[in-house]
Structure 1
Amino acid sequence: MSSVAGIRLALCSLRYGPQTGVPFAFFCRKSHSIADPMSTNSEKLSSSRGMSNVADQKQTKRFTVDLSELEKELAIVKSFKKIKRYVTDPGLVNNILYGLDPWDHRTTPIIMECNPGPGVLTRALLDAGCNVVALEGTAKFLPVLKKLEQDACGSLSVLHCDFFRLDPDTENAVEPPSMFSNDLMERIGINEVPWDTGIPIKIFGILKKEKERYLLWRYIYDIYERLSIFRFGRIELNFFMTEELYKNLAAKPGEHRRYRALAVLCNVAFDIQLLHKEHISTFYSSKNVKSPSIDNSEESLRDNLCLVRLTPRKDLFSEQFPPQDGKMFVNMVKQCLTKRKSEILTNLDSWSPGDGEQLLQLLDLPANARTGDISPEDYKLLFELLTNSEDFSQSFVFETCENIPCFAF
């Protein structure tokens, strides 16, 4: 359709409904917001507007930990030169179980645990009746995990693999702990399923602070193009990340310091839940950490890890938004959010000359709307309208974004 006529048709359809014999694409406005993180350590979230929290769930049993049997494995942790964190605290174990809710028998997804180390949480998941795949990147932990696998009667599979090193950028054969996602899924018996089916796998892991943004950007590109693990369906991510990163994901339009491309793209692609918050001192670590902070300063945000659930949205893809357009959408959002106080009309007129104001009117947005004030849902709707315009300059989006590094966002 021509750009101006197409916009008028879409606006007419939204206001009056479809006309007989006239094809059209219907766009609806949806509202998704995120609550602020918890204010106290080791505390469960209460329900808040706009965010689905883990609350009022049944927990049928609690797991107890006997670390005396794991002295050798814990000594391995202390020998590491770089900081690595593992789950060994009984209270933390039970809080993670509460968040993952392995007693929900409506669905039976596999739980994939990333770098379980001594295997304390692994034992708890098995005790809760889960089918677990343990991906361990450190060879020294494999003997105890393999012994646990032998005793698990088929409920546990242990692989020498680092989940965060999946799909290296090479066409050559790779050696453990690197692995290609196709090989991983084949070894654990997971086939590709339609996007609108259930959750086949729940992944649990702890993101390293120095790599968490890089990894999250990697998963953004993967999900929008349905690559890597997302080829196999709506894989749910459950990650401990810094509270600072979580607050960035939780930022709302208008919060220009934190509201950036990563927040917009994550909120379009995922339902986001904050499950739990824990001080870093609770984790068993290769190095000592300082005692809990008593203030609420920006520095204290680095002392807490937030367990965040990222569930791919069932309605992410459609005829108007296929995976083939995913990378283009990511690049468009990145370009818009480079200057969060600039007017988005400039971008729209560059991509579809002369149509910017009508596009904004279609979504009830003011002509002077700033890029940092546009909701994630409206960014997706704008993109869907733009791609239906014959005047949309797709090459412009790619050319202007191809040299912009992810860490700038």
Structure 2
Amino acid sequence: MSVPPAPPPPPPPLPPLREVIARHGLSASKALGQNFLFDAQLLGRIAAIPGPLDGKAVLEIGPGPGGLTRALLAAGARVTAIEMDRRCLPALDELAQAHPGRLRVVEGDAMRIDHDAQMGEPYAVVANLPYNVGTALLVRWLGAAAWPPRWRSLTLMFQQEVAQRIVARPDNAAYGRLAVLAQWRSTARLAMKVHRSAFTPPPKVMSAIVHLEPAAMPEGVSPRVLERVTEAAFGQRRKMLRQSLKGLPGAIEALDAIGIDPRRRAETLAVEEFVALARVLS
């Protein structure tokens, strides 16, 4: 009777992240908007926000030396990480070798890469986004022409002020274009606040994590039209709609058609009213 071969030994434990960073001579780049997180417990809590990840595909933007990447791998995810800082690639390669077949590192600019093509399957996005591209990436994900999108959830770190703008409601100083674009066909919630002291180096501002999931898309509305409407309306947010929207062909007539007083200001309109306006203009 043959004896089955013994299973391979488990991989050796990973060295502490601080040791990896020191060994590779890494430091956070201000130009790239980097701030490193070392607290494994905090990173584990972030990785848990989107729910169970065992065996699921996850896209991470800007992993740096791999702090959050470690937490995602520990949760069982299959991670594709896009990193443009070549200094971090050796540290990420070590992490990939410790988790064979579960971490793929793509070198490049996340703003120029087709995320759906890279993933090739439904995926979650979990990222401590570089501050200098976070909003632009969010608007890109939210503006997908095809809906529901290939991504199944977005769990994203922002400056706290930006996070509050994403989840804000009408008649609030934080309410604006970003809130409408986030909420018209997705649900958005502030999942966790992160103190500036958790980062190395500490940023000057507090941070927060927003979790978004796609919802049903209102019929008859073009995402591009909604973007133009919100850009015009909030571009002069202190002015009445009859002033801020006068440069948008048909907008004033559309307000009358759906019964919105043109003397109102953009910050008083509910998301549903912006959607109704965009539907008429679409």
TM over 0.5: yes
- Alignment partner of 1:76: what SS? coil
CA distance in 2, matches of 1:131, 1:280: 29
Question: Where in structure 1 are there 5+ consecutive unaligned residues?
Answer: 1-63, 168-179, 192-199, 291-301, 388-409
- Alignment partner of 1:117: what SS? coil
Question: Which of the two has higher C-alpha Rg?
Answer: 1
CA distance in 2, matches of 1:124, 1:72: 20
Q: Map of 1:122-271 to 2, 5 A cutoff?
A: 122-163=69-110, 166-167=111-112, 180-181=113-114, 185-186=116-117, 188=118, 190=120, 200-209=122-131, 211-212=132-133, 215-217=134-136, 219-220=138-139, 223-226=142-145, 233-255=150-172, 257-271=173-187
- Alignment partner of 2:169: what SS? coil
- Alignment partner of 2:26: what SS? helix
- Name the count of aligned residue pairs: 267
Identity value in percent: 21
Q: Evaluate the alpha carbon distance shift between residue 386 and residue 91 of structure 1 in structure 2; reply closer, same or farther with a 3 A threshold.
A: same
CA distance in 2, matches of 1:352, 1:71: 54
Structure with the bigger percentage of strand: 2
Match for residue 270 of structure 2 among 363, 375, 378:
375
Q: Structure 1 residue 100: deviation in Å? A: 3.1
| TM-score normalised by the chain length of structure 2 | 0.78
CA distance in 1, matches of 2:196, 2:91: 25
Letter paired with 1:373: T
Q: Structure 1 residue 224: deviation in Å? A: 2.9
CA distance in 2, matches of 1:317, 1:73: 52
What corresponds to 1:101 in structure 2? 51
The reply to whether residue 309 of structure 1 matches residue 211 of structure 2 is yes
Letter paired with 1:190: G
Letter paired with 1:309: H
Q: Map of 1:374-393 to 2, 5 A cutoff?
A: 374-387=269-282
- Alignment partner of 2:49: what SS? helix
Q: What is the RMSD computed on CA atoms of the aligned residues? A: 3.4
The reply to whether residue 77 of structure 1 matches residue 20 of structure 2 is no
Match for residue 359 of structure 1 among 235, 252, 258:
258
Letter paired with 2:250: W
Check conservation: 2:96, 2:103, Cα contact below 8 A: yes
Check conservation: 2:255, 2:277, Cα contact below 8 A: no
Question: Where in structure 2 are there 5+ consecutive unaligned residues?
Answer: 1-13
Q: Structure 1 residue 345: deviation in Å? A: 5.8
CA distance in 1, matches of 2:198, 2:30: 19
Q: Evaluate the alpha carbon distance shift between residue 344 and residue 310 of structure 1 in structure 2; reply closer, same or farther with a 3 A threshold.
A: same
Pick 1 or 2: higher relative contact order, CA cutoff 8 A, min separation 6.
1
Q: Evaluate the alpha carbon distance shift between residue 73 and residue 279 of structure 1 in structure 2; reply closer, same or farther with a 3 A threshold.
A: farther
Check conservation: 2:163, 2:209, Cα contact below 8 A: no
